[in-house]
Amino acid sequence: MPEIIIVDTTLRDGEQAPGFAFAPALKIRLASMLDEAGVDQIEAGVPAMGENEKATIRSIREACATARISTWNRLRESDVRHSFDCSPHIIHLCCPVSDRQIKDKLKTTRAEVLASLAKCAALAASRGAEVTVGFEDASHASPDQLREAARAARQCGVVRVRLSDTVGCYTPDKVWRAVRMLRETGVDVEIHAHNDFGMAVANSLMAVNAGARYVNTTLWGIGERAGNCGLATFTAAAGRLGNTSCAVDARKALELERLAATLLPQKSMNGWGKHLGYGYGTRPFGL
Amino acid sequence: MPQLVDRTLCLLYRVLPAAHSQEQRQTSDAFALWAGEWIDLMHHMGFVVEIPPDLQFASASAKARRTGKRPAPCGPWARLSGCCDALYTFETDLWPRFAAIRDTVEFCPGDHSGCATALAVMWLLKGGPRVAGCIGGSTLHGPDAGPALEEVALSLHAQGLDTGLTNLEKLPRATALLTQAGFDISRHKAVLGTDVFAVESGIHVDGIAKKPVLYEPYPPATVGLERHIVVGKHSGRVSVRLKARQMGLTLPRAAEEHILEKVQQLAESQQCSLSDAQFLDLCHTCHPPESLSYARTDCCGLSGATASAEVGHA
């Protein structure tokens, strides 16, 4: 039975949701709790944000017994050098793959992006860290563009790519096809789903069904806009659907979310964590 | 063209007690009035509304009131419910079993696995003509209520499918009616939440200022919402510049970095993003008001209103 490997990004993408600003001590505490729950990889932050963030990531690395720590980086050599200061197990490079991201945001060409990827991947690997590559806005890239990017990453020695559904536009059938195609290029696949259409959990499950081994989650499903794939909801759904196993037990994940929610300012949590009971029990028309 | 059937009234109606007491009769009257507005609103957007038999005259739509016609509660459809765990087997088992009779099947998948919206979208993309669910989905009415129709509708739009739905900018009125009825709708609920277009991350603010589609699944105005910048730990210089400009301040370029540093420090110390008042105070502390120029401007449609998450913090 294939095992789903959880990559939790609460401390990076989750914290980017407006309203959250985790103090260093809280980030370290949350990382320890995720580690104890069996999360395999914790995306601890963005070293390029500054010295405080770097110090926190270093402390997280020391605090976690088994989870591997990764850092998130733009496709810039300077970002990778900041990551070196944190000695992470994994250096993650974010590589835009859609035409609109490349032309309208980076204002460059696909060839330039792939050249930067090669340089940054080589630099990141030079200190012994595992390198993973995230295909930003993958749901707006064509299959050929995804294939080309995956092959380029493979040539750089990268063995795992992240399929990032940046604005949550994937449907289950499309994510299934994208994962199958990427698997054919010989890379491991990680799914990063957003919940803009309420399909983050379903798209993540479908990616697993198509052969993705790694799934990105956040506590309570926090994240930009409508959030990311929630750890407790995903593990519960994966357990119901079967065919796979997961190192993070669904009940433990729910307990973790309940406990961790008490550590945050309540106004930050307001609106997140419906599955913990928030919102249920309302009495229509005061009944 | 697919039909999206809203079950909200039936789901509410079944929890209302029979009107025996005076108090219960008042509740029923309040519900009937509420239901009338709900039906009109749903019809205005193009949804099909499932109406409980007892309410078909008491709270019929304007057209029904005029004509006195009593619409069929469900029509000639067989409702296919459950199927909560059919995600993996949809292509190979569920759809093939019902494809031949799809024109008589109204699909209403359950949400016990968190996949109801996805299953409904898959059904419609395959050519199924009709799904049933409700506005807000399982977060309001529990997992047997079916998919959240607003998520299904917007997802189909994103796939370029014509749903025949119009006036979706009226969805905030639906949210208001549900709130009036006693439901608590999350600010982050996909499509309906008031904060789903709040943005703090520097990368995202910069991207949206260049081209909103880079970090937005659809224009906020489509569903009657607005995007707004929140400043906090993850802001960048562009966020500070745009936020200040929207609040009527033009900061010297040299000041942006200093203010950004202060914003990030304050956000981290209070473990929360900044309110508008806090940001303004901070700008004035770093640079006395007389040294700043004031002119309220719009920046790429990025509204300066603070996300309600921070309002209480001023």
Interval B52-63: pLDDT, tens: 876 665 544 555
Residue A245 CB neighbours (<10 A): 11
| A238-263 mean pLDDT | 90
Report the distance separating Cα B305 and Cα B311, nearest Å: 10
Which has the closest alpha carbon to A47: A105, A90, A97, A14? A90
- Cite the DSSP H helix spans in chain B: 8-13, 22-45, 62-67, 95-98, 116-126, 138-141, 149-158, 171-180, 202-210, 237-246, 253-270, 276-286, 308-311
| B309/A202 Cβ within 8 A | no
This model of the complex carries an ipTM of: 0.93
**What would the two tokens of residue B51 be?**
């109406």
Higher pLDDT, residue B307 or A95: A95
Minimal Cβ distance to A286: which of B121, B182, B216? B182
User: Which pLDDT band holds residue B308 (cuts at 50, 70, 90)?
Assistant: very low
In a domain, A221, yes or no: yes
The count of structural domains within chain A is: 1
pTM beyond 0.90: the answer is no
In this model, does residue A271 exceed pLDDT 90?
no
Count of pairs with CB atoms under 8 A, one residue in A, one in B: 227
What pLDDT is attached to residue A200? 95
Could you tell me if B263 and B304 are in contact, meaning their C-beta atoms sit under 8 angstroms apart?
no
Out of A1-5, A282-286, B78-82, B230-234, pick the least confident.
Answer: A282-286
Q: What pLDDT is stored for residue B183 in this prediction?
A: 87
CB of A201 within 8 Å of a chain B CB? The answer is yes
**What is the C-alpha to C-alpha distance for residues B207 and A106, in angstroms, rounded to an integer?**
9
Q: Looking at beta carbons, which pairs linking B94-99 to residues 24 or more positions away fall under 8 Å?
A: B95/B122, B95/B123, B95/B126, B98/B128, B99/B126, B99/B127
Residues of A in Cβ contact (< 8 Å) with B188: 17, 225-227, 271-272
pLDDT confidence of B286, banded at 50, 70, 90?
Answer: confident
CATH number at residue A127: 3.20.20.70
* Residue A184: band (very low, low, confident or very high) from pLDDT cuts 50, 70, 90: very high
Tens digit of each residue's pLDDT (9 = 90 or more) over A103-127: 988 899 999 999 999 999 999 999 9
**A181 in Cβ contact with A147 (< 8 Å):** yes
Q: Mean pLDDT throughout A183-194?
A: 96
Comparison of pLDDT for B201 and A172, the residue scoring more: A172
Is the pLDDT at B65 greater than 60? The verdict is: no
Q: What average pLDDT does the segment A161-170 reach?
A: 95
Q: What is the pLDDT of residue A278?
A: 43
- Chain A nearest-CA distance from B290, in A, is 31
Residues across chain B: 314
Provide the percentage of residues in chain B whose pLDDT is more than 70. 80
Q: Would the pLDDT of B113 be above 60? A: yes
Would you call A149 an interface residue with chain B, using a CB distance cutoff of 8 Å? no
In percent, the amount of chain A with pLDDT more than 90 equals 83
- Is A63 within 8 Å of chain B by CB? no
On chain A, the residues whose CB falls within 8 A of the CB of B86 are none
Put simply, whether A51 touches B (Cβ < 8 Å) is: no
Antiparallel, parallel or unpaired: β A130-136 and A90-96 = parallel
A120 occurs within a structural domain: yes
Is residue A281's pLDDT more than 60?
no
Q: Are B31 and A285 inside 8 Å of each other by CB? A: yes
**How close A265 gets to chain B, by Cα (Å)?**
7
Q: Which residue would you say has higher pLDDT here, A2 or A107?
A: A107
Q: Choosing among B9, B188, B218, B227, which should be mutated to test the A contact, i.e. which has the most A CBs within 10 A?
A: B188
Domain assignment present for A278 = no
- Closest CA in chain A for residue B269: A23
Residue-number span of the structural domain to which A86 is assigned: 3-264
A15-24, B89-98, B113-122 — which is least confidently predicted?
A15-24
Q: Is residue A73 part of a domain?
A: yes
Quick check: is A283 in a domain? Answer: no
**Stretch A41-52: mean pLDDT:** 94
CB within 8 Å of B169: residues ≥ 6 apart: B221, B222, B223, B224
Give the residue on B whose Cα is nearest the Cα of A18.
Answer: B200
Confidence of residue A173 (pLDDT cuts 50, 70, 90): very high
Q: Which residue of A has its CA nearest to B136?
A: A198
Tell if the CB–CB gap between A52 and B268 is shorter than 8 Å. yes
Write down the pLDDT at residue B137.
Answer: 93
Residue B66, pLDDT above cutoff 70:
no
Convert the pLDDT of each residue in B35-53 to its tens digit: 889 999 999 999 999 988 7
- Is residue A196 domain-resident? yes
Q: What is the per-residue pLDDT for B70?
A: 52
Question: Is A206 at the interface with chain B, CB within 8 A?
Answer: yes
pLDDT exceeds cutoff 70 at A195: yes
- Please report, for chain B, the start and end positions of each structural domain, with discontinuous segments joined by +: 3-180, 198-311
Query: Tell me: the pLDDT tens digits for B217-265?
Result: 999 999 999 888 889 988 888 889 888 888 888 888 888 888 998 998 8
Q: Which residue of B has its CA nearest to A241?
A: B85
Average pLDDT, chain A: 92
Question: Confidence class of residue A74 from pLDDT cuts 50, 70 and 90?
Answer: very high
The answer to the question of residue A270 being in a domain is no
Q: What residue of B is the nearest CA neighbor of A283?
A: B182
Q: With respect to residue A280, please indicate whether it lies within any of the assigned structural domains.
A: no
* pLDDT at B176 > cutoff 80: yes
